[in-house]
Amino acid sequence: MANRIPRVPVREQEPAIRATNFEEVCLGYDLGEAIREASRCLDCKNPRCVAACPVHIRIPDFIREVAAGNPQGAAGIIARDSSLPSICGRVCPQETQCEGSCVLGIKGEPVAIGKLERFVGDWKLDHGAATAAAAPRNGGRVAVVGSGPAGLACASDLARMGYGVKIFEALHKVGGVLVYGIPEFRLPKERIVAREIAEVQRLGVEIETDVVVGRTVTVDALLDEEGFDAVFIGSGAGLPRFMGIPGENLNGVVSANEFLTRANLMRAYDDAYDTPIHTGRRVAVVGGGNVAMDAVRTARRLGAEATIVYRRSEKELPARAEEVHHAREEGIEFRMLTNPVEVLGTDDGWVRGLRCVEMELGEPDPSGRRSPVVKPGSEFEIACDVVVMALGTSPNPLLAATTEGLATDRRGCLTADEQGATTRPGIFAGGDAVTGAATVILAMGAGRTAARAIDEYIRSRR
């Protein structure tokens, strides 16, 4: 199923230039490029790409509109299934989802579905094209905890059904990981995230920031005193993990969450802001996921020599292929099959390096990935001034601890069924708070599924 037209390359900032700035790496398609790329789509009768999209965006339908030079029509089609196309077009792991299943990928290159989605989303933001409207109010009210992709998707679907929706967000900015985690050079905050969130607010969704549900107000108070008919919890998984090795308490060891929050939310890279961020000359980032790539590329842009330390091989790197490719282009060093066993310190308590062991791959573990095992006698040191731990995160226990009857599993994730119903009637949950750290599109999908379940729950009680 080859296509004679090659995939239209997307313009990007030159690696040597972008490694010194926080501007967006990928510049996206213009209309002509988007039309050419869209014309590669075969408009399959049984589109495998749609089945592989967690929110089932009608991919061939929107691509057909792009090919016809009608981005407005394409935006309308995407809006039926996704309220955040500019964001998803930038950060979704398309290579394992829609593009990974595109029939053109069998013998050649798949259609650049993500770049086309991004083009349509940006076109809509730039042209102020309204694509979805709130339904007349139906009298129901829903509280949403957290303004990440799960909360935003749930809120916008409920608003479109006619519910009065209010989002409560603990931080001073709206967007969850989209604003505090994923860096500006991958996802511009003002130009994209803030404007896509404004679209959600345009549907009538209210947002209150600086409210820590479980502290400022409890979930029970929202239901019993504030008159909400149901609550959706989309509080994410922001609690960082550490390795538990000697030396982790030294000055200069930070979690990726803290490092990225300082850089993104608190804009430490911008001279107009006072936020301190310490990199020294050399930064070692431990981990191999998207979070690790974001941290190491941020460190590089802050002027450090930056290295990834990962215990498996290149093949097992969980980060998106595009991020690994971009990191390499920007001069990031990769120390694969390497595991730290101790953080080494100076006499005055600062990091001076990592003691590591070499690893080799043994038998596959339950996830199918080959487990790394230590090579005997292989200890060596890596000199560095800062160690960033990017080893994964878990949900914050606050909401489960302050809400009677809300069960969690052994990882601390909220227990919820496939529709998002928790163990307490009227309380629903989705996104990273339920699955543990996952992806933007899965969080959005969970928010949308829960919105339908919340609608059924409220209607069943009338």
Residue numbers of the site for ligand SF4 (CB under 6 A)? 41-44, 47-49, 59-60, 102-104, 111, 113
Count of residues of this chain found to bind ligand FAD when the rule CB under 6 A is applied: 43
Indicate the SS3 state at residue 385: coil
Our finding on whether 85 is near ligand FAD (CB under 6 A) is: no
User: Binding ligand FAD by CB under 6 A: which of 396, 403, 422, 449?
Assistant: 396
**Whole-number minimum distance, CB 216 to ligand SF4, in Å?**
46
Our finding on whether 341 is near ligand FAD (CB under 6 A) is: no
Report how far residue 162's alpha carbon sits from residue 134's, in angstroms, rounded to the nearest whole number.
Answer: 6
Indicate the burial class of 105 (C-beta count within 10 angstroms; 0-12, 13-18, 19 or more).
middle
Report how far residue 296's alpha carbon sits from residue 256's, in angstroms, rounded to the nearest whole number.
Answer: 9
Q: Which H or E run includes 233? A: strand 230-233
Q: Within 429-458, which residues bind ligand FAD (CB under 6 A)?
A: 431-433, 437-441, 443
Our finding on whether 236 is near ligand FAD (CB under 6 A) is: yes
Q: Which H or E run includes 451? A: helix 440-460
Nearer to ligand SF4, 103 or 171 (CB): 103
Cα–Cα distances (Å) from 18 to 193, 291, 307, in that order, read 21, 19, 17
Which of these ranges, 61-69, 79-87, 135-143, 207-215, lies near ligand FAD under the rule CB under 6 A?
207-215
Nearer to ligand SF4, 13 or 39 (CB): 39
Nearer to ligand FAD, 264 or 307 (CB): 264
User: Binding ligand FAD by CB under 6 A: which of 54, 60, 204, 238?
Assistant: 238
Nearer to ligand FAD, 181 or 420 (CB): 181
Q: What are phi and psi of 105, to 5 degrees?
A: -75, -10
**Whole-number minimum distance, CB 343 to ligand FAD, in Å?**
22
DSSP structure string for 370-434:
EEEEEPTT--EEEE-SEEEE-S-EE--THHHHHSTT--B-TTSPBPB-TT-BBSSTTEEE-THHH
Report how far residue 234's alpha carbon sits from residue 367's, in angstroms, rounded to the nearest whole number.
Answer: 26
Our finding on whether 421 is near ligand FAD (CB under 6 A) is: no
Which of these ranges, 123-131, 279-287, 358-366, 426-434, lies near ligand FAD under the rule CB under 6 A?
426-434
**Whole-number minimum distance, CB 401 to ligand FAD, in Å?**
10
**Which of these, 257, 277, 262, 301, lies nearest to 390 by C-alpha position?**
257
Q: Within 368-387, which residues bind ligand FAD (CB under 6 A)?
A: none
Q: Where are the beta strands (DSSP E) in 298-375?
A: 305-309, 333-335, 338-345, 351-364, 370-374
- Give the pair of three-digit tokens for residue 353: 């390096």
Our finding on whether 317 is near ligand FAD (CB under 6 A) is: no
Q: Where are the beta strands (DSSP E) in 11-69?
A: 11-12, 26-28
Torsion region of 66: left, alpha or beta (phi above 0 gives left; psi -120 to 50 gives alpha):
alpha
Report how far residue 186's alpha carbon sits from residue 264's, in angstroms, rounded to the nearest whole number.
Answer: 11
DSSP state of 193: I
Query: Which of ligand SF4, ligand FAD, none binds 59 (CB below 5-8 Å, type-dependent)?
Result: ligand SF4
HSE-up (13 A, CA, CB side) for residue 298: 32
User: Binding ligand FAD by CB under 6 A: which of 42, 132, 212, 361?
Assistant: 212
Report how far residue 113's alpha carbon sits from residue 175's, in angstroms, rounded to the nearest whole number.
Answer: 24
Residue 339 forms beta bridges with which residues? 357
Nearer to ligand FAD, 170 or 406 (CB): 170
Nearer to ligand FAD, 203 or 233 (CB): 233
**Whole-number minimum distance, CB 316 to ligand FAD, in Å?**
18
User: Binding ligand FAD by CB under 6 A: which of 24, 33, 117, 169?
Assistant: 169
Nearer to ligand FAD, 71 or 431 (CB): 431
User: Binding ligand FAD by CB under 6 A: which of 49, 268, 399, 414?
Assistant: 399
Report how far residue 265's alpha carbon sits from residue 277's, in angstroms, rounded to the nearest whole number.
Answer: 12
**Whole-number minimum distance, CB 74 to ligand SF4, in Å?**
13
**Whole-number minimum distance, CB 103 to ligand SF4, in Å?**
4
Binding site for ligand FAD (CB under 6 A): 91-93, 145-151, 168-171, 176-177, 181-182, 211-214, 234-236, 238, 260, 290-291, 294, 320, 396, 398-399, 431-433, 437-441, 443
